């Protein structure tokens, strides 16, 4: 199995990777290897002990100047130990100084996977994963750190988390806790990360590491549009198909911090965890603190394999929704169709047209509750505005169900408008400093989710609406970042706990919601993809990828998203042209092809479409439904990148057995005297023959070998942003 322990050497094997730690004679837990799968060799022979000067020697080393944590690779480095690099823990154990020093105490191995109280975490049956727990103890005090390792052999995934335990009789003050550390004896690597902004999330960026600290963080209280809590470290020559790379995904939806430090001896340290910019936690005697989980994966055959490791691991062992294996409804959302300007009849018009086109669900977006005809008021008042709808929610959903559609609804439960009955009654529910004018965002305030009574109010309203009508889907939105956040429920010196307590409050509501309505399809959203992280995926099998629905910008956004997250989690809709975000005009066909890259739907007034558009939409819905299994469960390959290829972007889904595949192509530029372009399939059976169709028309038969090595010729684009779609399947 995956975990071998011998002589204080802990070797974790997955199918393609090996990870090793060793407890040395000073009882320090060293990290000795992570990379391509090998045997159980004790890699500590690679460590060089030297007196490097100005490197501290821990008490156990006495005058042994060649022993310093300043250059030794470790599993969980702490501040104050004479290691001056970025660390995992800053803790005041009662002296007033941050004075922790951790040594090995004990270990245990379990079948299956550990859980993290109150936090999302990957799960597993007893034969899918194994857990190693290593317990470290402070050299002087009864303060313990439990390091957890979940080993998923099949996916080349190792998860990590740390749990702090105060077994002393004093308060322990934590001001930084990272979930994981990876030390490597090399640093000639690139870091890949995904940055962005509202309506332009997860842009791929690759930069070389340098001496010093490369860091990414979100201080916004959410994982954010600006940086995604996922990075890749790779060899310089790694590309989609070859080379070593390591992925790190943090399963957390609040602010995060990720640092990669190249030190004085050219070693690399990577740490990842909760944003520590104003974090403080008071750990009382007898209490535990759970860090969020990090999911690491290694590939020695490029980014494509690394992404598939994550896609498979997240699809099978992170997304817990009843919907993860089910065909998702093709939906129409009324946001870009009507914004706040709708009534029940308008929604029914859209629903009728949706049914004719073969769609499955209507989602009623913002504006159905309280006083909410603009985004200046109403948040918190989760009471149906029957006057606006012209009927009750039950009447509306009954009529939509009679038409033959399911019904879904938008909520933004974490927010409160100052112009709302809730705020007039409970101004203290909002996060804001006493006697100060609040910092607003989208003219709204954030609810204090760290407080039980606030969470109870949200649940009471959510459940009341859910129970009042046949609601099968919720879009859970969150439309601002936290700022000047202050909770009246926490004493002044404990305000540093607020942001993490907020996230725990959010998770507790999501947990209860899904336990109460296990068949609910929950779609995550935060101004589009501002909280697109693996923590939210635990609850939401799909997340609205971006408020930008322009097909061409979506090529970039969905490209970046695909590195960590399965494509079935990427919610993508066809919208009108000129596009509402950037004014671009693209063919209806191309908008369909781009939206089918993820979980498909429409976001326009279907009743205003032209007859030609209706024919195309009907075909798109049929195509998506017909090939759903391939799109949801097939292996995903990035064939041509929108960053490197100016002329076209392409992506592929291939059935895991190689029986069928598809490649979608979107042309992003046109030229006089056009040059020929080709795409090459991946993941086919070389010696079998495939029928090849382009845009539904049969165009020939080729062997897998030919399609993978020679490829296939693309048609000449006929208009700006033209596109085409290949589908191949084994010849009978
Ligand atoms: C956010 C979402 C949109 C829409 C609006 C409604 O911006 O991302 O899809 O729901 O809120 O206000």
Give percent above pLDDT 90 in the chain.
99
Indicate whether residue 335 lines ligand 1 (CB < 6 A).
yes
Give, in order, the Cα–Cα distances in Å from 385 to each of 300, 364, 397, 605.
56, 13, 14, 22
**CA 273 to ligand 1 centroid distance, Å:** 28
What's the full length of the chain, in residues? 732
**Ligand 1 atom 11: the closest Cα is on which residue?**
527
> What confidence tens digit (pLDDT) does each residue in 297-337 have?
999 999 999 999 999 999 999 999 999 989 999 999 999 99
Give the active site residues: 533, 613
**Could you tell me if the CB of 366 is within 6 A of ligand 1?**
yes
Give which of 512, 128, 62, 573 is closest to 318, Cα–Cα: 128
Mutate to test the pocket of ligand 1, among 473, 527, 536 (most ligand atoms within 8 A of CB): 527
Is residue 410 in contact with ligand 1, taking CB distance under 6 Å?
Answer: yes
pLDDT band at residue 44 using 50, 70 and 90 as cut-offs: very high
What's residue 1's pLDDT?
A: 58
Strands 473-476, 406-411: pairing is parallel
Q: To test the ligand 1 pocket, which listed residue (414, 547, 554, 603) has its Cβ within 8 A of the most ligand atoms? A: 547
Atom index in ligand 1 nearest the CA of residue 547 equals 8
Which residue has the least CA distance to atom 1 on ligand 1?
Answer: 527
Please give the distance, rounded to the nearest whole angstrom, from the Cα atom of residue 32 to the centre of ligand 1. Answer: 47
Q: What mean pLDDT do residues 425-437 have? A: 97
DSSP state string for 354-380: HHHHT--EEEE-S-SBSS-SSTTB-TT
The overall average pLDDT reported for the chain is 98
**527 in ligand 1 pocket by Cβ < 6 Å?**
yes
Of the candidates 497, 452, 654, the residue with the CA atom closest to the CA atom of residue 567 = 654
Cα of 357 from ligand 1 centre, angstroms = 24
Give dist(CA 233, CA 247) in Å, integer: 7
In sign, the C-alpha dihedral spanning 330, 335, 336, 338 is: positive
Instruction: Give the single-character DSSP code of 384.
Output: B
What's the pTM? Answer: 0.98
Pairing type for strands 256-262 and 268-274 reads antiparallel
Q: Whose CA is nearest to atom 6 of ligand 1?
A: 366
Phi–psi pair at 576, nearest 5 degrees: -80, 165
Q: Is 477 in the pocket of ligand 1 (CB under 6 A)?
A: yes
**Strands in 548-634 per DSSP E:** 570-574, 599-602
Ligand 1 neighbourhood includes 336 CB (under 6 angstroms): no
CA of residue 535 to ligand 1 center, whole Å: 20
**Mean pLDDT of the region 49-69:** 96
Q: Give the per-residue pLDDT at 201.
A: 98
CB neighbourhood size of 671 (10 A): 10
Residue range 521-551, pLDDT digits in tens: 999 999 999 999 999 999 999 999 999 999 9
Rg (CA), the chain: 27
- Tens of pLDDT, residue by residue over 698-729, are 999 999 999 999 999 999 999 999 999 999 99
Does 369 contact ligand 1 (Cβ within 6 A)? no
Give the model's pLDDT for residue 494: 97
Q: How many angstroms is it from 445 CA to the middle of ligand 1?
A: 16
**Going by DSSP bridges, is the β-strand pair 689-694/723-730 parallel, antiparallel, or unpaired?**
antiparallel
Ligand 1 center–CA 612 separation, angstroms:
29
> Closest residue (by CA) to atom 4 of ligand 1?
335
> Ligand 1: distance of its center to the CA of 178 in Å?
32
Ligand 1 atom closest to Cα of 603? Answer: 9
C-alpha 111/C-alpha 246 separation (Å) is: 25
Q: Cβ atoms within 10 A of the Cβ of 665, count?
A: 25
CA-nearest residue, atom 7 of ligand 1: 527
Q: Atom of ligand 1 at shortest distance to CA of 527?
A: 8
**Chain centre to alpha carbon of residue 643:** 21
- What pLDDT, in 10s, does the model give residues 226-273? 999 999 999 999 999 999 999 999 999 999 999 999 999 999 999 999
Q: Is the pLDDT of residue 99 over 90?
A: no
pLDDT tens digits, 391-403: 999 999 999 999 9
- How far apart CA 166 and CA 663 sit, in angstroms, is 54
Q: Of 234, 377, 217, which is closest to residue 300 (Cα–Cα)?
A: 234
Nearest to 670 by CA among 723, 732, 600: 723
**Those residues with Cβ within 8 angstroms of residue 331's Cβ, 6 or more apart along the chain or in another chain:** 359, 360, 361, 362, 363, 408, 473, 601, 602
pLDDT at 632: 87
DSSP-derived 3-state class of residue 43 = helix
**Segment 547-597, tens digit of pLDDT:** 999 999 999 999 999 999 999 999 999 999 999 999 999 999 999 999 999
525 lines ligand 1 (CB under 6 A): yes
Ligand 1 near 365 CB (within 6 A): yes
Tell which residue, 713, 712, 721, 714, has the closest CA to residue 670.
Answer: 721
Q: Is the pLDDT of residue 642 over 90?
A: yes
* pLDDT, position 144: 98
Going from the Cα of 597 to the center of ligand 1, the distance in angstroms, rounded, reads 21
Alpha-carbon gap, residue 501 to 627, rounded angstroms: 42
pLDDT of 25 over the 80 cut: yes
């Amino acid at each position: 199995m995956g975990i071998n322990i011998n002589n204080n050497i802990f070797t974790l094997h997955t199918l393609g990777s090996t990870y090793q730690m060793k407890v040395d004679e000073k009882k320090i837990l060293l990290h000795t290897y992570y990379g391509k799968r090998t045997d159980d060799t004790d890699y500590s022979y690679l460590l060089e002990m030297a007196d490097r000067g100005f490197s501290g020697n821990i008490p156990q080393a006495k005058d042994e100047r060649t022993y310093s944590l300043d250059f030794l690779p470790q599993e969980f480095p702490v501040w104050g130990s004479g290691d001056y690099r970025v660390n995992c823990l800053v803790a005041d154990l009662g002296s007033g100084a941050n004075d922790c020093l951790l040594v090995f105490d004990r270990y245990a191995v379990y079948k299956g996977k550990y859980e993290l109280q109150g936090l999302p975490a990957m799960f597993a049956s007893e034969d899918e994963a194994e857990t190693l727990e290593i317990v470290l103890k402070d050299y002087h005090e009864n303060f313990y750190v439990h390091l957890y390792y979940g080993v998923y052999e099949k996916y080349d995934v190792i998860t990590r988390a740390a749990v702090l335990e105060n077994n002393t009789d004093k308060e322990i003050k934590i001001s930084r806790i990272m979930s994981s550390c990876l030390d490597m004896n090399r640093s000639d690597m690139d870091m890949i990360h995904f940055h962005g902004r509202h309506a332009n999330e997860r842009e791929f960026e690759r930069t070389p590491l340098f001496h010093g600290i490369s860091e990414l963080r979100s201080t916004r209280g959410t994982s954010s549009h600006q940086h995604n809590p996922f990075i890749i470290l790779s060899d310089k020559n790694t590309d989609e198909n070859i080379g070593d790379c390591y992925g790190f995904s943090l399963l957390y939806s609040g602010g995060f911090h990720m640092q990669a430090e190249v030190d004085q001896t050219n070693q690399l340290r990577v740490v990842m965890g909760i944003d520590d910019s104003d974090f403080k936690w008071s750990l009382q005697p007898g209490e535990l603190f759970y860090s969020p989980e990090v999911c690491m994966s290694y590939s020695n055959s490029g980014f494509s394999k690394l992404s598939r490791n994550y896609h498979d691991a997240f699809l099978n062992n992170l997304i817990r929704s009843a919907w993860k294996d089910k065909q998702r409804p093709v939906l129409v959302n009324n946001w870009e169709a009507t914004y706040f300007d709708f009534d029940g009849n308008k929604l029914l018009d859209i629903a009728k047209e949706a049914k004719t086109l073969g769609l499955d669900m209507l989602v009623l977006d913002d504006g159905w509750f309280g006083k909410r005809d603009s985004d200046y008021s109403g948040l918190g008042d989760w009471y149906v505005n029957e006057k606006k709808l012209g009927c009750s929610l039950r009447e509306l959903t009954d009529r939509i169900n009679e038409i033959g559609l399911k019904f879904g609804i938008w909520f933004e439960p974490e927010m409160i408008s100052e112009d709302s009955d809730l705020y007039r009654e409970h101004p203290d529910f909002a996060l804001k400093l006493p006697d100060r004018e609040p910092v607003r965002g989208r003219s709204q305030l954030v609810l204090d989710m760290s407080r039980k009574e606030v969470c109870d109010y949200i649940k009471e309203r959510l459940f009341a609406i859910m129970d009042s009508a046949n609601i099968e889907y919720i879009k859970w939105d969150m439309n601002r970042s936290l700022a000047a956040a202050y909770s009246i429920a926490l004493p002044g010196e404990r305000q540093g706990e607020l942001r993490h307590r907020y996230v725990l409050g959010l998770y507790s509501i999501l947990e209860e919601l899904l336990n109460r309505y296990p068949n609910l399809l929950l779609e995550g959203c935060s101004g589009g993809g501002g909280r697109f992280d693996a923590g939210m995926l635990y609850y939401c099998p799909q997340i609205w990828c971006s408020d930008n629905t322009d097909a061409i910008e979506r090529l970039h956004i969905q490209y970046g998203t695909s590195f960590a997250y399965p494509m079935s989690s990427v919610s993508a809709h066809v919208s009108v042209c000129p596009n509402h975000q950037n004014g671009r005009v693209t063919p209806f066909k191309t908008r369909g092809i781009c939206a089918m890259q993820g979980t498909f739907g429409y976001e326009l007034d279907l009743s205003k479409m032209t007859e030609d558009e209706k024919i195309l939409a009907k075909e798109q819905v049929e195509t998506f439904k017909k090939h759903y299994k391939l799109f949801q469960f097939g292996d995903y390959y990035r064939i041509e990148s929108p960053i490197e290829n100016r002329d076209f972007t392409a992506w592929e889904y291939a059935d895991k057995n190689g029986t069928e595949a598809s490649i979608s192509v979107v042309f992003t530029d046109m030229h006089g005297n056009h040059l020929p372009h080709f795409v090459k399939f991946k993941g086919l059976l070389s010696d079998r023959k495939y029928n090849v169709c382009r845009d539904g028309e049969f165009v020939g038969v080729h062997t897998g070998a030919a399609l993978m090595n020679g490829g296939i010729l693309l048609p000449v684009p006929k208009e700006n942003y033209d596109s085409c779609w290949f589908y191949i399947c084994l010849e009978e």
